[in-house]
Structures are given as structure tokens and as C-alpha cells.
Amino acid sequence: MKLTVSDEGEGIPPEALDQIFDPFFTTKPVGAGTGLGLSMVLGFMQQSGGAVIAKPEVSQGATFELYFPTS
């Protein structure tokens, strides 16, 4: 089963794509966010036997596909 989540924000810069799931990584200024969200999503999906795929588009937002195992 797949759940797709999208936003229409600034997107993810290509040079940051390898780090987006790292704990505390953020491109926001100091005080504007902790950078824990995506690392927690990835951890939950891995513990559940699923996966996450990021599909960013700079200046057009990002789409995340969450794949859940089926029984």
C-alpha cells in the first residue's frame, strides 16, 4: 500500500537530498525548526518494514511516497 504526501513549498535543493533523512538536518534558519520530521518518518517506516521515496522538485515542492507492507 502506498501513501503519497505532497507540498508546494520551495522544494529540496539537489545538494541537500542526501541529507534530508539525517536527524537534525534542516535548511531552515536557526530557531525555525529542529529537522526531526523526516528522520522520524524514515525510522517509523523502516521499523514497519516499509520504505520512503522522496521526489523533490526545486521551486515546486516535494512529494514523498510511503510504502507500507501488506499482509
Single-letter amino acid, residue 17: L
Residue 71 scores a pLDDT above 80:
no
Greatest Cα-to-Cα distance within the chain, rounded to the nearest angstrom: 43
pTM, entire model: 0.82
Interval 35-54: pLDDT, tens? 788 999 999 999 999 999 99
- Return d(Cα 60, Cα 44) in angstroms, integer: 26
Tell me the per-residue pLDDT of 10-44, one tens digit each, with 9 for 90 and over: 888 888 899 999 998 887 788 877 778 899 999 99
63 pLDDT above the threshold of 80:
yes
26 or 62: which leads in pLDDT: 62
Three-state DSSP state, 19: helix
pLDDT for 46 equals 96
- Please tell me the distance from the alpha carbon of residue 23 to that of residue 70, in angstroms, as a whole number: 28
